[in-house]
Chain A
């Protein structure tokens, strides 16, 4: 079996068997989850979409970890380091800075959402700024930005399947069939169990991932020999070797001149963007008390440490002798191929299961979050304002299916060889909702139409510039770092777009306030932002919906 795997063509039966085993376990859990902590009112959108808003610290740690650390962590970030060195390590400062950010503003969002029964951030925006159009903008941005993020999860699963030996050379249909099956099963249990499915599966996911990472960090350096010194030196000598065609080095294990600002903006931009994503907010709104997340912050950083260590697996792959060419021109195979090479087949199977399940959990939460957004802020606001919470659940269930297959189309349509750009593209879009949501938690100074104009400017600029980025292998969306206009300095497009967004928002607000344009009605009061919610108190949401 090991021989077969090393030739890269034949299917590794042991690995495949282990992966199928874990996939079946997880699927069973997903369907059983519908009964877990079930309430009498299980058809309510609060139940399907937010798991009854009842998760305590323990479940939340697993759920948020399972939610936020995704195929991005296991496949995309290592691929970026494998290809370009230190710049890809921005994911570590990103996941460091995200926690203080969470500490600052998420308790306020939790409180006001609990008090008024908001299911989505767009619900909050609508009621805070008195603007359905701004809420629609936030909701649509969330749905669109989540698509490439779900697509990234699929890419992660695909990378594992490729290394196991299924897929690769066959026809498109045969190649993608396992992915279709995995996704259909995922769609089915998400449909029936809602947020409870990924919450329960997150336990399995995290256990497998911690196991895999600890074993990898301890065991693989002994296989390579020479320890970490050798690993970093090997990475440095490979990265700094000039490419024979371009005569330029791929990168370095330190940041090159001019890469400090891209590094900083990628990190802070991604950190600010993360909790604008609907799936991240679902994880927070599903907690049972205001301080559940805050109390969890220190423990949640454990995931950041794991992310940093996984990122370094890419350098191990370099030290083990893998090159872009030997990975079939797909750097995303770096970590799976390393596992395949270093571990006995049965444990490689465990590691692949960790990556694949690690992608399924967030994919489920993302599709639930998108479905919530569509149901609450598009369908309920513009199509059927009289829908009952039960009807909302039905719509959300259907939309969760649509979103997943939309992502599938995304991954088959776009070049998936640098999946990190999927996540960064989503970040460019979602970050533009930051002013409406986060500033809105503190002040109503910004005018609703100013926020909308700023959003439009940021989205427009970000989308156009991202589309224009080309490389030797890709015509569009090849990079998420671009020159800041009128300078020679490069930065993450999302950050540049956010600055433009803020300038437009402030300027428009000044004008709109000067001409006394009507401000929207505010349905919240100051005390709502420190509302604690009782233990076991069921949120009163019926009136909003009925």
Chain B
């Protein structure tokens, strides 16, 4: 196991709770399009029309735009969350997020790859 040395990840992670406000924001943004689109009775109607488009059509096209906005929010929420977690980990003094720096990328792939052959 190449990255066995990095395995003791969980202890550092315990420094920040699994669920943080930023993660909740991201989760809501990601789940909302599914709820809206799968709840078909909420939009399977003709009225009100907009520019001649029945509700069924303009509402779903509107959700394309809404989803775009939600994705932007979710990306930022995850980014803030990650920054906060890194800060918390660092102040915890363990520095155990080694895998995320990418520095170990080159060497770690080697042995695991050979095992798989």
Contacts and interface: CB of A to CB of B under 8 A. Distances in A.
Given A103-B74, A305-B61, A97 B109 contact: no
Interface in A474-505: none
Interface of B: 1-4, 6-7, 9, 29-31, 33-34, 37-38, 40-41, 44-46, 49, 51-54, 56-57, 60-61, 63-65, 67-72, 74-75, 78, 97-103, 105-117
11 contacts: A96-B33, A97-B33, A99-B71, A229-B49, A260-B44, A267-B37, A294-B78, A298-B71, A523-B113, A532-B102, A533-B102
B107 to A, nearest CB: 7
Nearest to B106: A540
Contacts of A532: 100-102
B40 A260 contact: yes
Task: Output the residue of B63, B105, B115 with the most chain A CB within 10 A.
Answer: B105
B102 A127 contact: no
Nearest to A100: B30
Interface stretch (A37-45, A85-93, A332-340, A360-368): A85-93
Interface range on chain A: under 10, 10 to 19, 20 to 34, or 35 or more? 35 or more
Contact of B40 (A228, A255, A298, A312): A255
Contacts of A301: 64-65, 67-68, 71
A411 to B, nearest CB: 31
Contact of B64 (A228, A253, A305, A533): A305
B109 A544 contact: yes
Nearest to B51: A228
Interface stretch (A70-78, A113-121, A240-248, A399-407): A113-121
Given A523-B113, A544-B113, 20 more contacts: A93-B38, A100-B71, A104-B30, A114-B105, A115-B108, A116-B113, A117-B113, A230-B52, A253-B54, A254-B46, A298-B71, A308-B57, A308-B64, A309-B61, A525-B7, A527-B98, A528-B99, A530-B100, A543-B110, A544-B117
A87 to B, nearest CB: 11
A232 B52 contact: yes
Contact of A254 (B34, B45, B99): B45
A308 B106 contact: no
A-B pairs, top 3 by smallest CB distance, nearest first, are A527-B99, A228-B52, A229-B52
A518 interface: no
Contacts of B63: 93, 96
Contacts of A267: 37-38
Contacts of A297: 68, 71, 75
A89 to B, nearest CB: 7
Contact of B60 (A89, A254, A524): A89
A435 interface: no
Nearest to B60: A92
Nearest to A523: B112
Contacts of B105: 114-115, 531, 533-534, 537, 539-540
Contacts of B56: 86, 89, 253-255
B60 A93 contact: yes
